[in-house]
Amino acid sequence: MIVAFLAHIEQDRGNGASTRTVRLPAIKAFMRYIEHKVPSALEQIGRVHAIPTKRHAQKLIRHLTMEEVCAILNAPDLATRSGVRDRAMMHLCFAGSLRVSELVGVLTENLSLRHGASVTVRGKGRKERCLPLWKDTAEPSELAERARRSPRTGALRQCTGRADDPCRL
């Protein structure tokens, strides 16, 4: 029945092998849960686990050239506070290869803008890593100003603009 469902996904619904490949691990994960709840179905569950994934051609991931990176970094309007913040965020993303979850979790207390500027980032699985920053990223900017004024707030979070907001410049 599961093999028929996977064939239905590809043939009748017109999805590709990649969609089938995504559905199969979800089914297998559910079967791992069922193993403990219904021990009498272990033989059938073993057959489900034996269903192979289907190979498919994967698209190559194209990387940005340095000119494209510079164009993105220079896009924000530096005459506005949000433009300065956006540029600082993009510099951190490019310099440290940060995920969005890592970027929004950066605290100003984790920024070291002195000799050999760096930032400590907490990533997936709560793993921490210390990343050196590009010279352009570490220059006096919104990051440095926020680190100086409020070391415990999120470095790049959106300010409310209220007078009592600790991240307000």
- Inside any domain, residue 54: no
pLDDT on residue 84? 80
pLDDT on residue 157? 47
Q: Are residues 132 and 73 in the same domain?
A: yes
DSSP tag of 63: P
Q: Are residues 88 and 125 in the same domain?
A: yes
Q: Are residues 7 and 43 in the same domain?
A: yes
Q: Are residues 44 and 83 in the same domain?
A: no
Specify the CATH number for the domain of residue 75: 1.10.443.10
DSSP for 129-160, please give it: EEEE--HHHHSSSHHHHHHHH-TTSBSSPPP-
Q: Which residues of the chain have pLDDT under 50?
A: 140, 151, 153, 157-169
Q: Are residues 70 and 38 in the same domain?
A: no
pLDDT on residue 43? 92
Segment 8-31, tens digit of pLDDT: 988 888 888 888 888 899 999 999
Q: Are residues 141 and 86 in the same domain?
A: yes
- Inside any domain, residue 71: yes
- Inside any domain, residue 55: no
Number of domains within the chain:
2
Q: Are residues 14 and 75 in the same domain?
A: no
Q: 76: which residues sit within 8 A by CB, 6+ positions away?
A: 82, 83, 84, 86, 87, 90
pLDDT on residue 42? 92
Measured CA to CA, the distance from residue 98 to residue 90 in angstroms comes to 10
Q: 62: which residues sit within 8 A by CB, 6+ positions away?
A: none
Q: Are residues 70 and 145 in the same domain?
A: yes
Structural domain of 38: 2-49
Question: What is the pTM assigned to this prediction?
Answer: 0.46
**What are the tokens at 79?**
């005459």
Q: Are residues 72 and 141 in the same domain?
A: yes
